[in-house]
């Protein structure tokens, strides 16, 4: 691969010639702020937060879209750049509800994070404010356009990655907002509820409907594999007080940061009150709670009695395509080595 | 899958047959659409006009049960027009002449009538598939749940071999696995003829290997498959049944027959996270931990072994399945303690050649794809590169034979079954998620508008559906997704359960039931 040599913040670096400035900076460990950037999507260069100064260029350049060129000299945090970013945040804040105290996104909101980093405490602009009705038609998430910053990530994920095209930009200028065609509402649209738009929203515009109140900083993230179909999507379970309160997609080899509706929103069975929590033994046609010892004792007694009376071939077990490899291994070992039959199968055919 | 999921995006041609990918494997469906947007061609063959059909270059709305006829006919066209990969056939395959002989009779005109599609569409699909450099075939239960399911898979493989598409990136033969760890359950020996790693129980050297490792005597007798167990339970030759994390009272064919079988065993143990329809019939129910409450691994459709991690404590006294199994094994006198699933994986690696290089250390960040025979092996992205596992790729030509279940004047429609986006298998999990239930609350039957009109049935009306096995009541959903002589019912629901209607006819090789073809009649409820 051909490489070029550039200078970022006076430091020389060699990078592939198809890199953007943003990628080159990332490689050097320099953090350039972005709101509309997602490495899986075509560069959009809409939010302008990633602007940098390129020697010789008259205007500030968007680092997410501009490719590197040999000899380029770039400043990522010059005074001019910082002022530009402050102005952008100031403009965004001019039309954003100042409700971080109660906003569910607080703590993981990019706008909040950058306003803090760039010391934007309040807006200097007075003017019209957006006033949209919240679309809460989806059982899974809200679309609150009063908080939208028009970065377009949701629209692009829906069209470029998910290819559902349920949402798009409606109207123009100040009235530009993300909606379904003819404002029919998410639930009446072609939306497949994958929630990939929700997962990329940098602010509180697209938010999961949660049964629990939690702040991101109160949760721990546990990387795991989805328990539904065989795609093996990687995801993070958000856990607060021994409860799974949310799911975020992870960038696994098979899912590339995407999930479907079941993976993203189908986790409430974990904490469901119907969960079995004690062994049950049927006595006179009714289930009675028992101790583990009693349940184990009964199983062992039955196995031994039936085995001595009829041999091993009258035993059979269905192992499970939903359990782990380790559990499937032990199940077949229990039947083969513990009981003495190969009658072990599972629902691969069903 | 012979290939990897990420390779979907780089395919030239994607041929989806018997898989409603966007509903059953949505994240793969999205990647197919990405490929299409980048210029890949898409062929879809399915009895229903599924979502992907709208994006397809050719859509073949075939009659259920006619996959083999279609595939043979596509091969007929490819050979007739000289589009086969001659070099690949010569170098890497055998028995090609057998295939040529067999598919000769499968002309598009003749097969168009059998499949109820336009012969020109068969030609078009064949040309697109054959002309692609990297053509991948993706299928699911639409290919396999038939009396000739195994032959259907062979027909898929024949087509891929004919065009040199096995052992190549972004091509291959790719069954999409419906459950999180159905691949792993097979790999781990959850099959009646196989020890872990598909090592056969009837081979003396294998038996000896496991007897030595497990330090016990083992049986060389091949065990029973699920349908055989259900049958044996009904007739009294299976007396003790242990079911872990499975709900045959919804997912197995002919539920009335399953019910009789479960009630007839001397002792039924069910281990699950909910009191399922199956658990309700048990003598003992053992409460298990869900995937979020334990450590372990799942193996996905592309053979990748990935970590599952404990996030929360299991409710009450529920225990991880591996702990329960170990406890019972020890109490039965087989003394072996494991301190963690990681230690079990080490044992798996020691007896399973494909998993030989797997350890929790190696898969902590990114999972590895088997075969991964040693600790230094990087895993295998796609299979059969350069040479097949058996040496040469063998053509296994198969004749098309009609489904066993057939329509007559009493049962004039073919019912086919499947899943919907918002539910998973028997709904024990998704049925307890409010939003998912709101999106897909009840069982329904898809009926073509012309058929509905003939039967004087309106959208949303309750109807009676009867097969040779039973009757259910379900809601009519009138849609032109489905043809006039075919109907579709999702199998998820206990109320209006499609599997009350399905039959227990099995593929004699794989013992998979013919779930995709059931003759039914539909009646208005007066």
The packing angle between helices A79-93 and A110-117, to 10°, is 130
| Whole-number Å distance between alpha carbons of B202 and B194 | 9
Tokens of A241: 């007080």
What pLDDT, on the 0 to 100 scale, is given for residue A126? 86
8 A C-beta contact, residue A149 and residue A203: yes
The answer to whether residue A121 sits within a structural domain is no
What pLDDT, on the 0 to 100 scale, is given for residue A12? 96
Q: Is A240 on the interface with B (CB under 8 A)?
A: no
* A248–chain B nearest CA distance, Å: 14
What pLDDT, on the 0 to 100 scale, is given for residue B285? 98
Tokens of B418: 């499947």
What pLDDT, on the 0 to 100 scale, is given for residue A1? 73
Q: What percent of chain B has pLDDT over 90?
A: 98
Q: Say yes or no for a CB contact (<8 Å) between B298 and A324.
A: yes
* Strand B471-478, strand B462-467: pairing: antiparallel
User: DSSP letters of B326-344?
Assistant: HHHHHHTT-----SSHHHH
Closest residue on chain A to B341 (Cα): A326
What pLDDT, on the 0 to 100 scale, is given for residue A128? 87
* Residues in chain B within 8 Å Cβ distance of A160: 34, 37
Q: Please write down the HEC assignment for all residues of chain A.
A: CCEEEEEECCEEEEEECCCEHHHHHHHCCCCCCCCCCCCCCCCCCCCCCCEEEECCCCCCEECCCCECCCCCEEECCCHHHHHHHHHHHHHHHCCCCCCCCCCCCCCCCHHHHHHHHCCCCCCCCCCCCCCCCCECCCCCEEECHHHCCCCCHHHHHHHHHCCCCCCEEECCHHHCEEECHHHCCHHHCCCCCCCHHHHHCCCCCEEECCCCCCCHHHCEEEEEECCCCCCCCEEEEEEECCEEEEEEECCCCCCCCCCCHHHHHCCCCCCCCCCCCCCEEEECCEEEECCHHHHHHHHHHHHHHHHHHHCHHHEEEECCCCCCHHHHHHHHHHHHHHHCCCCEECHHHC
Of A258, A324, A341, the CB nearest to B296: A324
Q: In degrees rounded to 5, what are phi and psi of residue B297?
A: -140, 150
pLDDT per position as a tens digit, B358-371 = 999 999 999 999 99
The answer on A243 and A224 residing in a single domain is yes
The answer to whether residue A104 sits within a structural domain is no
What pLDDT, on the 0 to 100 scale, is given for residue B525? 92
* A243–chain B nearest CA distance, Å: 6
What residue spans define the domains of chain B? 5-176, 182-369, 413-524
The yes-or-no verdict on residue B18 having pLDDT over 80 is yes
Name the helix (H) or strand (E) containing B13.
strand B13-17
User: Among residues B46, B65, B60, which one has the least CA distance to residue B401?
Assistant: B65
8 A C-beta contact, residue B188 and residue B296: no
* A178–chain B nearest CA distance, Å: 21
Q: Is A322 on the interface with B (CB under 8 A)?
A: yes
Q: Do domains B182-369 and B413-524 have the same CATH topology?
A: no
The packing angle between helices A325-333 and B341-351, to 10°, is 70
- Considering only residues 115 to 174 of chain A, which have any Cβ-Cβ distance to chain B shorter than 8 Å? 139-140, 160-163
Q: Is B282 on the interface with A (CB under 8 A)?
A: yes
* A98–chain B nearest CA distance, Å: 30
8 A C-beta contact, residue B129 and residue B99: no
8 A C-beta contact, residue A275 and residue A285: no
The answer on A266 and A294 residing in a single domain is no
- Considering only residues 70 to 99 of chain B, which have any Cβ-Cβ distance to chain A shorter than 8 Å? none
* B469–chain A nearest CA distance, Å: 18
The answer on A200 and A178 residing in a single domain is yes
Of B5, B325, B366, the CB nearest to A231: B5
- Considering only residues 103 to 132 of chain B, which have any Cβ-Cβ distance to chain A shorter than 8 Å? none
Q: Is B436 on the interface with A (CB under 8 A)?
A: yes
* B233–chain A nearest CA distance, Å: 9
Q: Say yes or no for a CB contact (<8 Å) between B313 and A343.
A: no
Looking at the 3D structure of chain A, how many domains does it have? Answer: 4
Q: Is B504 on the interface with A (CB under 8 A)?
A: no
Q: Is A262 on the interface with B (CB under 8 A)?
A: yes
* Regions in chain A scoring below 50 on pLDDT: none
User: CATH assignment of B413-524, given 2.40.40.20, 3.40.50.1100, 3.40.50.20, 2.70.98.30?
Assistant: 2.40.40.20
What pLDDT, on the 0 to 100 scale, is given for residue A127? 83
* Residues in chain A within 8 Å Cβ distance of B248: 318, 347, 350
| Whole-number Å distance between alpha carbons of A269 and B294 | 15
Name the helix (H) or strand (E) containing B34.
helix B26-37
* Residues in chain B within 8 Å Cβ distance of A299: 267, 269, 284, 328, 331
The yes-or-no verdict on residue B1 having pLDDT over 80 is yes
Q: Say yes or no for a CB contact (<8 Å) between B313 and A260.
A: no
- ipTM of the complex model: 0.96
Q: What CATH class does B5-176 carry?
A: alpha beta
A:B CB pairs within 8 Å = 468
Name the helix (H) or strand (E) containing B286.
strand B284-287
Provide the terminal-to-terminal Cα distance of chain B, rounded to the nearest Å: 49
What pLDDT, on the 0 to 100 scale, is given for residue B277? 95
What pLDDT, on the 0 to 100 scale, is given for residue A112? 97
The CATH fold assigned to B182-369 is Rossmann fold (3.40.50)
Q: In degrees rounded to 5, what are phi and psi of residue B175?
A: -70, 130
Q: What angle do CA B296, B423, B244 make, to 5 degrees?
A: 40
Q: Say yes or no for a CB contact (<8 Å) between B433 and A266.
A: yes
Q: Say yes or no for a CB contact (<8 Å) between A336 and B218.
A: yes
pLDDT per position as a tens digit, B401-424 = 999 999 999 999 999 999 999 999
Closest residue on chain B to A291 (Cα): B317
What pLDDT, on the 0 to 100 scale, is given for residue A348? 82
Which burial class, exposed, middle or buried, applies to B51 when counting CB atoms under 10 A from its CB (0-12, 13-18, 19+)?
A: buried
Final residue of a structural domain among A275, A292, A309: A275
The HSE-up count of residue A207 (CA atoms within 13 Å, CB side) is: 22
Question: For position A259, which CATH number holds?
Answer: 2.20.25.90
Q: Say yes or no for a CB contact (<8 Å) between B308 and A334.
A: no
Report the residue of A242, A320, A340 to disrupt the B interface, i.e. the one with the largest count of B CBs within 10 Å: A320
The answer on A307 and A269 residing in a single domain is no
What pLDDT, on the 0 to 100 scale, is given for residue A6? 96
Final residue of a structural domain among A42, A73, A92: A92
Mean pLDDT over the full length of chain B: 96
The yes-or-no verdict on residue B148 having pLDDT over 80 is yes
List Cβ neighbours of B205 (8 Å cut-off, separation of 6 or more): none
List Cβ neighbours of A54 (8 Å cut-off, separation of 6 or more): A21, A61, A66, A72, A73, A74
- Buried b / exposed e over B282-304, threshold 16 CB at 10 Å, is bbbbbbbbbbbbbbbbbbbbbbb
8 A C-beta contact, residue A253 and residue B4: yes
Q: Is B178 on the interface with A (CB under 8 A)?
A: yes
Name the helix (H) or strand (E) containing B264.
helix B255-264
- Considering only residues 31 to 60 of chain A, which have any Cβ-Cβ distance to chain B shorter than 8 Å? none
What pLDDT, on the 0 to 100 scale, is given for residue B184? 97
The yes-or-no verdict on residue B229 having pLDDT over 90 is yes
| Whole-number Å distance between alpha carbons of A328 and A62 | 52
Q: Say yes or no for a CB contact (<8 Å) between A192 and B243.
A: no
Final residue of a structural domain among A254, A275, A296: A275
Does B447 sit behind a cis peptide bond, omega within 30 degrees of 0 on the bond before it? no
Question: For position A24, which CATH number holds?
Answer: 3.10.20.740
Of A256, A270, A318, the CB nearest to B292: A270
DSSP state of B189: T
User: DSSP letters of B428-488?
Assistant: TTGGG-HHHHHHS-S-EEEE-HHHHHHHT--TT-EEEEEESS-EEEEEEEE-TTB-TTEEE
Tokens of A338: 């513990």
The answer to whether residue A110 sits within a structural domain is no
The answer to whether residue A117 sits within a structural domain is no
The packing angle between helices B321-331 and A292-310, to 10°, is 50
For B135, the 3-state DSSP assignment is: strand
The answer on A289 and A271 residing in a single domain is no
Q: Say yes or no for a CB contact (<8 Å) between A279 and B223.
A: no
Closest residue on chain A to B200 (Cα): A342
* B173–chain A nearest CA distance, Å: 16
Q: Is A267 on the interface with B (CB under 8 A)?
A: yes
8 A C-beta contact, residue A244 and residue B312: yes
* Residues in chain A within 8 Å Cβ distance of B185: 319-321, 323, 328, 346, 348
8 A C-beta contact, residue A234 and residue A185: no
* A164–chain B nearest CA distance, Å: 8
| Whole-number Å distance between alpha carbons of A129 and A123 | 13
* Residues in chain B within 8 Å Cβ distance of A275: 273-274, 287, 290, 315-316, 318
Range of the domain at A164: 130-209
pLDDT per position as a tens digit, B466-508 = 999 999 999 999 999 999 999 999 999 999 999 999 999 999 9
The answer to whether residue A118 sits within a structural domain is no
The answer on A176 and A230 residing in a single domain is no
DSSP state of B128: H
| Whole-number Å distance between alpha carbons of B227 and B171 | 34
| Whole-number Å distance between alpha carbons of B239 and B113 | 48
Mean pLDDT to the nearest integer, B233-257: 95
The answer on A203 and A221 residing in a single domain is no
Of B294, B302, B348, the CB nearest to A329: B348
What is the pLDDT confidence band of residue B101, given thresholds at 50, 70 and 90?
Answer: very high
Tokens of B248: 């045959």
What pLDDT, on the 0 to 100 scale, is given for residue A350? 80
The yes-or-no verdict on residue B194 having pLDDT over 90 is yes
Q: Is B388 on the interface with A (CB under 8 A)?
A: no
């Amino acid at each position: 691969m051909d490489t070029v040599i550039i200078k970022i913040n006076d430091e020389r670096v060699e990078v592939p010639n198809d890199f953007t400035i943003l990628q080159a900076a990332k490689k050097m460990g320099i953090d350039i702020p972005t709101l509309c950037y997602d490495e899986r999507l075509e560069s959009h260069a809409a939010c302008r937060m990633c602007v940098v100064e390129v020697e010789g260029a008259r205007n500030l350049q968007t680092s997410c879209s501009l490719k590197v060129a040999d000899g380029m000299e770039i400043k990522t945090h010059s005074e001019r750049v910082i002022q530009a970013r402050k102005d952008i945040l100031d403009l965004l804040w001019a039309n954003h509800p100042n409700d971080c105290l109660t906003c569910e996104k607080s703590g993981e909101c990019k706008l909040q994070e950058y306003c803090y980093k760039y010391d934007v405490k309040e807006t200097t602009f007075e003017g019209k404010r957006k006033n949209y009705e919240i679309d809460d038609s989806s059982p899974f998430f809200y679309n609150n356009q009063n908080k939208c910053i028009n970065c377009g990530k949701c629209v692009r994920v829906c069209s470029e990655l998910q290819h559902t095209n349920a949402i798009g930009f409606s109207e123009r200028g100040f009235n530009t907002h993300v909606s379904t065609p003819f404002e029919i509402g998410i639930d009446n649209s072609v939306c497949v509820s994958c929630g990939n738009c929700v997962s990329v929203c940098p602010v509180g515009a697209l938010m999961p409907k949660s049964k629990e109140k939690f702040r991101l900083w109160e949760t721990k993230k546990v990387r795991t594999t989805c328990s539904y179909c065989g795609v093996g999507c990687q995801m993070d379970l958000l856990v607060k007080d021994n409860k799974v309160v949310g799911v975020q997609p992870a960038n696994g080899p098979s899912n590339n940061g995407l999930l479907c509706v079941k993976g993203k929103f189908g986790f409430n069975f974990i904490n469901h009150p119907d969960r079995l929590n004690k062994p049950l033994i049927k006595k006179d046609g009714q289930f009675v709670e028992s101790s583990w010892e009693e349940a184990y004792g009964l199983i062992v007694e039955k196995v031994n009695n039936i085995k001595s009376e009829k041999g091993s071939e009258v035993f059979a077990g269905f192992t499970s395509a939903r359990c782990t490899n380790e559990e499937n291994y032990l199940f077949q070992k229990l039947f083969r080595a513990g009981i003495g039959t190969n009658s072990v199968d599972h629902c691969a055919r069903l | 899958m012979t290939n990897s999921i990420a390779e979907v995006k780089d395919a030239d041609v994607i041929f989806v047959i018997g898989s409603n990918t966007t509903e059953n494997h949505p994240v793969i469906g999205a990647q197919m659409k990405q490929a299409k947007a980048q210029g890949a061609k898409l062929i879809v063959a399915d009895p229903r006009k599924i979502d992907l059909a709208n994006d397809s270059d050719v859509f073949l709305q075939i009659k259920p049960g006619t996959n083999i006829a279609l595939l043979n006919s596509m091969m007929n066209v490819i050979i007739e027009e000289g589009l086969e990969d001659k070099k690949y056939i010569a170098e890497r395959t055998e028995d090609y002449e057998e295939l040529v002989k067999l598919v000769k009779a499968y002309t598009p005109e003749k097969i168009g009538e059998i499949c109820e599609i336009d012969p020109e569409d068969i030609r078009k699909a064949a040309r697109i598939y054959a002309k692609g450099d990297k053509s991948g075939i993706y299928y699911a239960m639409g290919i396999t749940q038939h009396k000739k399911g195994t032959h259907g898979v062979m027909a898929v493989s024949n087509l891929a071999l004919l065009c040199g598409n096995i052992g190549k990136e972004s091509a291959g033969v790719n069954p999409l696995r419906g459950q999180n760890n159905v691949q792993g359950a097979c790999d781990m020996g959850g099959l009646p003829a196989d020890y872990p790693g598909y090592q056969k129980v009837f081979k003396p050297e294998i038996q000896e290997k496991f007897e030595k490792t497990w330090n016990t005597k083992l049986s060389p007798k091949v065990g029973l498959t699920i349908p055989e167990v259900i049958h044996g339970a009904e007739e009294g030759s299976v007396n003790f049944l242990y079911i872990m994390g499975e709900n045959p009272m919804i997912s197995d064919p002919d539920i009335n027959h399953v019910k009789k079988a479960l009630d007839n065993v001397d002792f039924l143990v069910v281990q699950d996270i909910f009191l399922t329809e199956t658990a309700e019939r048990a003598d003992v129910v053992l409460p298990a931990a869900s995937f979020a409450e334990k450590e372990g691994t799942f193996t996905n459709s592309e053979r990748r072994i990935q970590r599952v991690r404990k996030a929360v404590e299991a409710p009450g006294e529920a225990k991880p399945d591996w702990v329960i199994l170990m406890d019972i094994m020890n109490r039965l006198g087989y003394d072996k303690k494991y301190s963690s699933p990681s230690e079990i994986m080490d044992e798996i690696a020691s007896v399973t050649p494909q998993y030989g290089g797997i350890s929790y250390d190696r898969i902590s960040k990114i999972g590895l794809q088997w075969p991964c025979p040693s600790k230094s092996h990087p895993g295998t992205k796609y299979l059969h590169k350069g040479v097949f596992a058996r040496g040469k790729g063998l053509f296994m030509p198969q004749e098309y034979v009609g489904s066993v279940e057939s329509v007559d004047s009493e049962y004039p429609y073919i019912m086919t079954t499947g899943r919907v986006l918002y539910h998973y298998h028997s709904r024990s999990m998704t049925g307890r998620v409010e939003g998912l239930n709101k999106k897909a609350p009840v069982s329904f039957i898809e009926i073509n508008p012309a058929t509905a009109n003939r039967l004087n049935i309106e959208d949303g009306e309750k109807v009676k559906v009867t097969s040779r096995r039973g009757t259910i009541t379900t809601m009519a959903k009138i849609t032109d997704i489905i043809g006039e002589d075919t109907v579709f019912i999702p199998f998820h629901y206990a109320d209006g359960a499609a599997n009350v209607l399905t039959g227990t006819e099995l593929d004699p090789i794989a013992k998979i039931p013919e779930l995709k073809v059931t003759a039914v009649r539909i009646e208005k409820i007066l």
